Amino acid sequence: MISDEEFEYHLAQHIKAWNPYKKPKSTHPALTLPLEKQREILEATMAVPESVTTERMHSQSSLAGVLLGEGLPVADDLLVSWLQRHADFHAFIALPLEGLVKWVEHRQASNPLSIRLLTCLRTHHPRISKRATDKSHRSLMHRMAIVLGLVSSDVIPGPKDAWTAKALAWRDSLPDQNKEAWEALLKLASAQKSSTPSKSYLKNAAELVAALPQFSMIMRDILEALGRDGPVGVTWRGYPSSMKNLLDDDYTDLLRPLIWLCAPYPDLTDSLRDAAARCSTKIKNIGPLCAKIAAACAETLSRQAVDAATPSLSNLQSAVKHKSTRKALAKAMITVADKAGSGWSELEEKHVPDHGFKQGHRIGSFTAKLAWSHSGTPELLWHQEGAEPQKAVPIEVQRSHSDQLKETKILLRDVKKTYRAQVLRLEKLMCEGRDLPYEIWQEHYFDHPIVGALTRRLLWRFGTELVYLDQNLTASDDRLAMTLDGRSIVGSSGMNVHLWHPAELKCDENQQWQKWALTNRLIQPFQQALREVHRPAGDPDATDDHRYHKELLHQGAFAALCRERGWLYSFHGSPEEFSPCILYPRLNMRAVMNVSEEPDPHGRAILWLQISDIKFYQADKIVPLSLVPAVIYSEVMRDIGLFISASKATKDSGWRDTIPSKEMSE
């Protein structure tokens, strides 16, 4: 038997080496001892006295968990009494669950559990499960339940949410040889715990997928089920919920490896994009539906062909708001750009999908073509030879071609998503001031069926001349591009075109273009001609701008707008807080807004920030305001003005973001 002094020594060594929050870098000191000595220490740790402090109980139990995890033999009577002691001590609060589960699995594999021990574990299992609110603990309890015969050993024992119900439905409907391949694939996926796919997993899984010709259809159904209502209420993070559209957190680690296998299937591109968008949707009091799955979809898209991945990732930029998902999306875009050997901006403009509307979709005797309302909204126009185009769906198409009509309406939905993404891209292009060769501009902007509708309603610079475009003329017409004084500018090879920003002109010239836009009732996809312009005032050598000095920002509204406008920001009061900034990589510049915390008299969380000044840096050197490019200065000040306006609306107790229907009708 081990002496009390020797046991206290080993317990002290354990306390010194053991850290429940970090993976050990070296072997635990108790595991370097002979097996007989380890067994003596284990028996001593399990002999808990009647009167014991909480700290002592945790110390002895954690040491017992380390030794139990090695599968050391323990007498059934000793283990049963030890479990009963834990049951009496604050209902298993100090129980080393991981070590116990490993021991039970090892014992069952080598020598089946005795009736007494099996009965004891089954009796205490429900009470121990109540302590398992953490995902890793719930996984351990599930493993123990399998050993005890309380649940099925299937990877998915029953429908847990919408996607698991689809997976089980496919398993039950597959032929026997395909069912074995699907179950083997699920088992292989359940063993993957990393956040990115390994080469060995992709290789082994590819062999199973080859034996499962229905894999593409299965994954399409599963991806379409994400974010949809399932057959049962979902258990979310260990707690039952009445919301059926949630994802069971215990099975997202199983879904992620299955999504990784979708990269070789171009027919799943749209399903991956839509699933990522739905998983990024914010749920009240929860956050994004599942940021982990959204990131997995983005990673999978990055391994698809460049022409398929680029438009899908581009559309996701406007849907993804969560910080970790945006990081994964940015990484995916860099991967695709490196694969193509060009910058993301250049790649994005060359791969805008037209969804088949360049020539139109033939359905029966009619052709569905894209048309644009006065406000720029895409819609379908039906053409028939010898008849006027019509907006209403023809009766012939409704009765005889309902399936094709449904597909065309889905394509129109995709056109609207692409349209919104291109509006954001063109606004970003205007702020970048990037020059486009005339041939690129004509092919990928003016002649594109979707981007062309936006291009015709914007003002461009052809060389040094600022022009507007006649929306009814083609690129070959000499009077397509006109200046304000009525001169026509003909585009030619070698000419540079770039999207004009009003900060490039003086105030009086801007006013002339604004007057022209209002007179001609030009409706633009975003503010261009009527965009507010900010210019530095005061000392030309000044390095900081104080125009917004002491203005207040509401942290919640400010953080949301920072994500929307591309600013980098972390909440003040958090360990990683830093000054809000926005980067301009093409010029190696950044704008920094210095803020301070507005003290809260009640000592609550920091809700308000106070602006000190705004500074500009280039290669870590401060830049005088007079040398900051006019477009960058104006856009930075415009964004800050937006942040302040949103904060004032938040502070106004009488402000409402919706108008009641009664007031709307009046």
Same domain, 136 and 178: no
For residues 102 and 455, give the distance between their C-alpha atoms in angstroms, rounded to a whole number: 64
At which of 93, 125, 148 does a domain end? Answer: 148
Which letter does DSSP use for residue 572 in this model?
A: B
Q: Give domain status of residue 222, yes or no.
A: yes
Selected residue with higher pLDDT from 293 and 110: 293
Cα 6 from Cα 442, distance rounded (Å): 84
194 and 238 share a domain?
Answer: yes
Assign residue 551 the CATH number of its domain.
3.30.310
Does the pLDDT at position 640 exceed 70? Answer: yes
**Same domain membership, residue 332 and residue 194:** yes
Q: Within this chain, do residues 144 and 176 fall inside the same structural domain, yes or no? A: no
State which of 135-149, 259-273, 473-487 shows the largest mean pLDDT: 259-273
Query: Residue 570: enclosing H or E segment and its boundaries?
Result: strand 568-570
What phi, psi does 92 have (nearest 5°)?
65, 25
Q: What angle separates helix 4-17 from helix 35-46, to the nearest 10 degrees? A: 90
Q: Does residue 24 lie in a domain region?
A: yes
Place of tokens 């740790």: 45
pTM: 0.74
Answer whether residue 364 is part of any domain.
no
pLDDT score for 657: 44
Distance of alpha carbon 182 from alpha carbon 218, whole angstroms: 10
Q: Are residues 215 and 305 in the same domain?
A: yes
Do residue 61 and residue 96 come from a single domain?
yes
Instruction: Provide the b/e sequence for 326-362 (b: ≥16 CB within 10 Å).
Output: bebbeebbebbbeebeeebeebbbebbbbbebeebbe
- Shared domain check, 265 and 135: no
Assess whether 212 and 319 both reside in one domain.
yes
Indicate the residue among 350, 378, 395 that finishes a domain: 350
CA–CA gap between residue 317 and residue 644 (Å, rounded): 24
Length of the chain: 666
Compute the average pLDDT of residues 347-365.
Answer: 87
CA–CA separation, 425 vs 419, rounded Å? 10
Q: Are residues 128 and 190 in the same domain?
A: no
SS3 461: strand
Q: Is residue 487 part of a domain?
A: no
Q: Does residue 267 lie in a domain region?
A: yes
Number of domains in the chain: 3
Q: What are 36-93's pLDDT values in tens digits?
A: 989 888 888 888 777 778 888 888 888 888 899 888 888 888 888 888 888 887 767 7
What local confidence, expressed as pLDDT, does residue 663 receive?
37
Domain with 170, as residue range(s), is 162-350
- Angle in degrees, CA 223, 281, 156, rounded to 5: 40
What's the rounded Cα separation, in Å, for the pair 393 and 379?
A: 11
Whether residue 134 is found in the same domain as residue 188: no
Residue 499 burial class via C-beta count within 10 angstroms: exposed 0-12, middle 13-18, buried 19 and up: buried
489 vs 236: which has the higher pLDDT: 489
Same domain, 192 and 338: yes
Q: What is the average per-residue pLDDT within 607-630?
A: 91
pLDDT tens for 517-544 read 999 998 999 999 999 999 988 787 899 9
Place of tokens 């930075």: 636
d(CA 538, CA 214): 69
Judge if 340 and 210 occupy the same domain.
yes
> Does residue 566 surpass a pLDDT of 90?
no
Rg, the chain, Cα only? 32
Does residue 300 lie within any of the structural domains? yes
Q: Which of 302, 328, 350 is the last residue of a domain?
A: 350
Model confidence at 662: pLDDT above 80: no
Closest CA to 292 of 325, 248, 268, 319: 325
Return the pLDDT at 276. Answer: 94
Residue 603 located in a structural domain: yes
**Which residues, listed in sequence order, are joined to residue 283 by a DSSP beta bridge?**
287
Mean pLDDT, the chain, as a whole number? 86
Q: What is the distance in angstroms between the CA of the first residue and the CA of the last residue of the chain?
A: 90
- Interval 293-334: pLDDT, tens: 999 999 999 999 999 899 999 889 878 888 788 889 999 999
Nearest to 190 by CA among 110, 108, 256: 256
Query: Is 608 a domain residue?
Result: yes
